[in-house]
Amino acid sequence: MKLIIATIKPFKLEEVREALTSIGVRGMMVTEIKGFGSQSGHTEIYRGAEYAVNFVPKIKLEIVVAASMADQVVETIAKTAKTGKIGDGKVFVLDVGQAIRVRTGETDADAL
Ligand SMILES: Nc1ncnc2c1ncn2[C@@H]1O[C@H](COP(=O)(O)OP(=O)(O)OP(=O)(O)O)[C@@H](O)[C@H]1O
Ligand SMILES: [Mg+2]
């Protein structure tokens, strides 16, 4: 299993969620965050407002999938979240050692 952590622009959330659902992703965690990337000392436009500070609102997605699906998930996020402007986000991929569905006790791939 892999954990895919992605930051995206907030207005892209619905489109990314739909794209991921359509390729078979069944669950994800979504968190409103603030962060910064490589323009930390500069400004980034968010909904027409220029943030002179270092932190810009983003959405963080955390998605655990079978390892065989990870590439497709990463490609789907990268393609769907892209505007071509700065601040489109980042995608990180980590290994996951164990998963459990609490209701049934199912483990690993069966728990997803
Ligand atoms: N190295 C990092 N580690 C952890 N989180 C990061 C890192 N870089 C960026 N982020 C997170 O991703 C969000 C989006 O970053 P961003 O897309 O601006 O990256 P970037 O490298 O500056 O790319 P771009 O040049 O397109 O702006 C940040 O707000 C932050 O939450
Ligand atoms: Mg940036």
- All domains in the chain, ordered by first residue: 2-111 (3.30.70.120)
- The string of DSSP codes covering 49-110 is EEE-SS-EEEEEEEEEE-GGGHHHHHHHHHHHH--SSTT--EEEEEE----B-TTT--BGGG
Query: Which tens digits make up the pLDDT trace of 35-71?
Result: 988 876 466 666 666 555 678 899 999 999 999 999 9
Residue 18 C-alpha to ligand 2 middle, in angstroms?
25
Note the pLDDT of residue 45. Answer: 66
Please, are residues 9 and 81 in contact by the beta-carbon 8 Å criterion?
yes
As a whole number of angstroms, the distance between CA 77 and CA 25 comes to: 12
Tokens (6 digits) for 77: 């996020």
CA of 6 to the centre of ligand 2 (A): 14
Is the pLDDT at 7 greater than 90? The verdict is: yes
Tell me which residues have their CB within 5 A of the ion that is ligand 2.
37, 39, 86-87
Ligand 1 atom with least separation from CA of 58 = 29
| pLDDT at residue number 41 | 46
Q: Please report where in the chains the tokens 């500070």 appear, as a residue.
A: 53
Q: Which ligand is nearest to the CA of 58?
A: 1
